Amino acid sequence: MKGRHPEEAAKYFTKLSDREHAIFEVGIALGSIAHQLSGLPVRADKRMLEDLSRALEESFRSQPFRSSVRIKIELEKLGKRVSSRYGYGVITPECLDVLVEVRYGESRAVGRMRYIEELGYPLMFIESVE
């Protein structure tokens, strides 16, 4: 069926409803984005970061069930970590604002990762489920 795993893979997910599976996929997506981008060297250049964000969004959107991916690398947070001597810094989860929408079967889940000032932590959470 469209929007679900092929039959040979679906047998591994029989205990999950479409809703639960959409939430599961959001968690996988956010975790992979955070871990794959952490440590990536970048210049503190607005245009370069915007171009990189668009390319990364396209790449992560190619994974199954991802209907939308938005990645913002926050220049002001990155800027604190840029070496003045070498002119580059590295992405950390604190620099990212990520939104992922997953559609699985009849369900849609939207998850987010962003730095929450009051927690002092880049939190991953579910924004909505339908």
Q: Greatest CA separation found in the chain?
A: 55
Q: Domains plus CATH for the chain?
A: 17-129 (3.30.1300.20)
pLDDT value of residue 95: 94
Q: Which residue would you say has higher pLDDT here, 114 or 44? A: 114
> Shortest CA distance to 12 belongs to which of 27, 2, 24?
24
Q: Determine the Cα–Cα distance for residues 98 and 115; give it in Å rounded to an integer.
A: 10
pLDDT band at residue 3 using 50, 70 and 90 as cut-offs: confident
Q: What is the mean pLDDT of the chain?
A: 93
pLDDT tens, residue by residue, 17-34:
999 999 999 999 999 999
pLDDT tens, residue by residue, 19-75:
999 999 999 999 999 999 999 999 888 999 999 999 999 999 999 999 999 999 998
pLDDT band at residue 2 using 50, 70 and 90 as cut-offs: low
Contacts of 34 (CB under 8 A, 6+ apart): 93, 96, 98, 113, 122, 124
User: Percentage of residues in the chain with pLDDT exceeding 90?
Assistant: 82
Residue 1 confidence (pLDDT) above 50: no
Task: Determine the average pLDDT of the residues in 86-107.
Answer: 94
Q: Determine the Cα–Cα distance for residues 94 and 15; give it in Å rounded to an integer.
A: 34
42: β partners: 89
